């Protein structure tokens, strides 16, 4: 557990911590902060030696005497290029470095001028979120060595450290809210990362569904309903049932609904909901079309899209966005067995569409077909699905960006802009209409994949398009490359990343302000 507090001003001689982080832009000759002359001189010497140059996410720890054991210089890079995202990552890098140095308490100087035209509160939020993301550690299933995991227990965010003037009360108030907001978002990211990092023998469809129900009990205005196998059969969700039939673990279908519009006087029918649909494959062997063994253990994160949807709706509820949002998550495990569905089978989706199976390793689009079909019941204003869907998008974009597929130019532009601002980047991909002909089947309404080799990420999007009303704006986000990082980042541990939760939360916030 990490405790973060906000302080307007603390004299240096009263500071007590294991580390004191001082942010600097590239090329700055000295620290402009109110520090003792001896410390400022030491910092100036290090900068002059060029051992530290202030490059983005660069760190340099200096041992000093007094109430603070170390001063850690932190590079923010070029001033003209500094964004809230780069601030978040830089401070996260500092926390990662200090964790390894076994620091238990850290003071972070918040640089109010870090990003041009951004308020102090915005920067406080970025710093706090960066610290929380770095604080997360994948240690939940350690036994004897669990106590050896290093974490920072207390962080103080220090603002107004550059002179004698007092901080405006309005800045403090908005900064306190920004801190709370960052912690709520971080809690959601922690949920996604914890669930996606968990081994599949723990994080079964029922376990994730019950976890969602527990979240729903704690947040006012959020209702969570779980459909079991019998109810799924009643809904005729053939895609979800087919994928699950090879596993001993029965499928689940999670419905998270937040009625934020009701609390803001819009009435029960005053706001068409935004519906989010997330792929929830708790482990993907490929089924009968078995995957290669190499890296198959990472297929425990194939439910990261579903977890991101649950977390996003929960965050919207905790932050009381005035918006009606619904999250739908079909959950199943894709296993090979004598009961598994097979290539050549014909499966009927809940909307009546029949699908010819060519590979059981394209299971994600099968469960999403049922999820998207179910979404029509809400007559939504917009649908966004999130899925770790294809290896093809990893080949195309790696971990740089989530693949974005949509026919709505305005939605694409908005999400691209917000992706840059949050660091949850998206990259728009084409959806050639003519290619849809390759999904025609001689024995069913559709083929699940084309019989000829084409760009699979695009073909998957074209397949999903069949299950969305043509008049409803729809976005498909393929986060197979961004939801997981095997080696980790300088600012975050390896494993699940939580993408694209930050993007979705910012988008819901913006949409809610426009209504």
For residue 30, with 0-12 CB atoms within 10 Å meaning exposed, 13-18 middle and 19 or more buried, which class applies? middle
Largest CA distance in the chain: 81
Q: Which two tokens stand for residue 291?
A: 């995957």
Whether residue 111 lies in the annotated active site: no
CB atoms within 10 A of CB 445: 16
Q: Which of 111, 279, 300, 365 is catalytic?
A: 365
- Measured distance CA(18)–CA(12) in Å, rounded: 14
Q: Which of 70, 236, 272, 291 is catalytic?
A: 291
Residues 6+ apart with CB under 8 A from 174: 119, 120, 121
Where do runs of H (alpha helix) occur along 322-398? 363-375, 391-397
Whether residue 230 lies in the annotated active site: no
CA gyration radius, the chain: 24
Residues 6+ apart with CB under 8 A from 287: 243, 246, 334, 335, 336, 340, 341, 360, 361, 363
Question: Which contiguous run of DSSP H or E holds residue 208?
Answer: helix 205-218
- Measured distance CA(40)–CA(37) in Å, rounded: 5
Tell me the DSSP string of 153-206: -EEEEE---SSSSPPPHHHHHHHHHHHHHHHHHHHHHHHHHHHHHS-TTTS-HH
Nearest Cα to Cα of residue 150 among 46, 338, 2:
2
Residues 6+ apart with CB under 8 A from 337: 246, 247
Backbone φ and ψ of 18, nearest 5°: -75, -25
Backbone φ and ψ of 105, nearest 5°: -130, 135
Residues 6+ apart with CB under 8 A from 154: 2, 3, 4, 5, 17, 104, 105, 106
Strand partners, 61: 72
Q: Are 283 and 334 in contact (CB under 8 A)?
A: yes
For residue 13, with 0-12 CB atoms within 10 Å meaning exposed, 13-18 middle and 19 or more buried, which class applies? exposed
Active-site residue numbers? Answer: 291, 365
């Amino acid at each position: 557990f990490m405790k973060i507090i906000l302080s307007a001003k603390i004299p240096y001689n009263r500071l007590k911590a294991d580390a004191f982080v001082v942010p600097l832009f590239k090329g700055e000759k000295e620290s402009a902060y109110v520090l003792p002359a001896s410390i400022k001189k030491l910092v100036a010497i290090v900068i002059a030696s060029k051992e530290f140059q202030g490059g983005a996410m660069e760190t340099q720890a200096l041992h000093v005497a007094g109430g603070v054991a170390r001063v850690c210089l932190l590079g923010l890079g070029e001033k003209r290029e500094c964004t809230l995202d780069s601030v978040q990552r830089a401070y996260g890098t500092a926390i990662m470095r200090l964790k390894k140095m076994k620091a238990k308490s850290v003071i972070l100087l918040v640089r109010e001028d870090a990003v041009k035209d951004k308020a102090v509160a915005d920067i406080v939020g970025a710093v706090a979120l960066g610290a929380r993301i770095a604080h997360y550690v994948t240690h939940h299933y350690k036994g004897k060595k669990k106590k050896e995991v290093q974490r920072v227990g207390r962080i103080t965010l220090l603002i107004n450290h550059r002179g004698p003037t007092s901080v405006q009360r309005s800045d403090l108030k908005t900064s306190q809210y920004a801190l709370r907001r960052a912690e709520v978002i971080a809690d959601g990211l922690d949920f996604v990362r914890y669930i996606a990092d968990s081994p599949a023998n723990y994080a079964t469809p029922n376990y994730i569904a019950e976890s969602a129900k527990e979240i729903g009990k704690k947040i006012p205005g959020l209702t969570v309903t779980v459909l079991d196998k019998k109810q799924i059969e009643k809904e005729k969700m053939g895609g979800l049932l087919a994928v699950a039939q090879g596993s001993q673990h029965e499928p689940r279908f999670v419905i998270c609904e937040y009625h934020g519009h009701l609390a803001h006087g819009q009435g029960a029918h005053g706001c068409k909901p935004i519906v989010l649909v997330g792929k929830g494959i708790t482990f993907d062997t490929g089924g009968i079309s078995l995957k290669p063994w190499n890296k198959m253990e990472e297929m425990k994160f194939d439910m990261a899209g579903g977890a991101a949807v649950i977390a996003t709706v929960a965050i919207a509820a905790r932050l009381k966005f005035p918006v009606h949002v619904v999250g739908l998550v079909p959950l199943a495990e894709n296993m090979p067995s004598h009961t598994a569905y097979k290539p050549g089978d014909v499966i009927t989706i809940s909307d009546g569409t029949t699908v010819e199976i060519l590979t059981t390793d394209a299971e994600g689009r099968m469960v999403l077909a049922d999820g998207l079909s179910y979404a029509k019941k809400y007559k939504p204003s917009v649908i966004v699905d999130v899925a770790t869907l294809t290896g093809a998008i990893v080949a195309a974009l790696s971990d740089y960006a989530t693949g974005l597929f949509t026919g709505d130019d305005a939605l694409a532009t908005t999400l691209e802009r917000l992706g840059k601002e949050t660091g949850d980047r998206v990259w728009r991909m084409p959806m050639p209409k003519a290619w849809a002909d390759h999904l025609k089947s001689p024995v069913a309404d559709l083929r699940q994949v084309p019989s000829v080799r084409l760009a699979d990420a695009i073909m998957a999007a074209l397949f999903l398009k069949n299950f969305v009303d043509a008049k409803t704006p729809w976005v498909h986000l393929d986060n197979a490359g961004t939801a997981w990082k095997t080696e980790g980042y300088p600012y975050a541990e390896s494993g699940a990343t939580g993408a694209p939760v930050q993007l979705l939360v910012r988008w819901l916030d913006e949409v809610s302000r426009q209504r």
